[in-house]
Structures are given as C-alpha cells and as structure tokens.
Amino acid sequence: MKLLFLNGVNLNLTGKREPGVYGTETLESINRDIAAHFAEDECSFYQSNLEGEICTAIQNADGVYDGIILNAGAFTHYSYAIRDAIASVSVPVVEVHMSNVHSREEFRNKSVLSEVCKGVICGFGKNSYILAGESFKL
Ligand code: DQA
C-alpha cells in the first residue's frame, strides 16, 4: 500500500513547540517510527508551511497513492484551498491531529476539511498518524 503522510504549517517544529501539547519528539523521529510501523508498505513523508504546496502535494498524490494521512495544522481550521484540493482528487484523505482538538480552544473545534475527508483521528499523539494509516487497510 502506498501512503503519503502530509504535514502542514508549523508541524516542522514538533518536539520544540508547545511540548506539553505535542510532546518532545521531533517530526523526523515520529516519521521514522511511522515508517517502521508500515515497513511492509511504501510510505512517503512531506511537510510544508505553505498552503499552496500542501494543495500541490494533494493534487500530485492522485492516482499515485492509496491514501493520504493529513495533519494540516492550523490550516485545518480555515483553508478552503486545501478543502477544495481534497474534494478535487479521488485519493482518500484521513485528517489527523496529534492533540484532541475538541478539548482545546474553540477555534480548533471547527475543521473545514473534515467534510471532504474519509475520516478524522485526533488526540493520540504520534499514534494518530499510525491509526489513520491503518484505517486504509480495513
Ligand atoms: C494540530 C492541531 C491544530 O489545531 C494546530 O494548529 C496544529 C497541530 C495537532 O496535530 O494537534 O498545528 O493539527
């Protein structure tokens, strides 16, 4: 199975920013654990702080990957461009968040992406990515 793990804005700072919320492990280390978990599969990893680059990555994944695991970071809460990119492709996307966005500030309760995603997983730290990846195998 070909899986794309896609991270948006500020996720490159994972391990350094707000460690009480996101932990102390870097994105690089998290990606290594994900790759080890999905050793039988073909995993790709991409992170960008730029909204348009996330859209391009989604567009380019169509017909190439079996699924996208997307943590769009704060883009989740307002990016109609990413929402439209997801709606424009047939590759399924699972939205993920490391933190439980429903137990935090009110603006995080709203995702403009969820409606066009296959599903949403949040609150399990780095395991949110693994649970989302596993969902493509059900
Ligand atoms: C996040 C939650 C978002 O609200 C936040 O803006 C992030 C990370 C998470 O993984 O919990 O950057 O997507």
State the distance from the centre of ligand 1 to the C-alpha of 19, rounded, in angstroms.
12
d(CA 36, CA 10): 24
Mean confidence (pLDDT) of the chain: 98
Is residue 49 lining ligand 1, measured as CB closer than 6 Å? no
H-assigned helices in 1-138 = 19-22, 27-37, 51-61, 80-88, 127-135
Task: State yes or no: is 77 an active-site residue.
Answer: no
What does the pLDDT look like over 109-126, one tens digit per residue?
999 999 999 999 999 999
Q: Is 22 labeled as catalytic in the residue annotation?
A: yes
Instruction: Judge if the beta carbon of residue 71 lies within 6 A of ligand 1.
Output: yes
Confidence of residue 39 (pLDDT cuts 50, 70, 90): very high
Q: Is the beta carbon of 99 within 6 A of some atom in ligand 1?
A: yes
Query: Which ligand 1 atom is at minimum distance from the Cα of 10?
Result: 12
Phi–psi pair at 6, nearest 5 degrees:
-115, 125
Give the full edge-to-edge strand order of the sheet including 2-7.
42-47, 2-7, 67-71, 93-97, 119-122
The verdict on the CB of residue 30 being under 6 Å from ligand 1 is: no
State the pLDDT at residue 94: 99
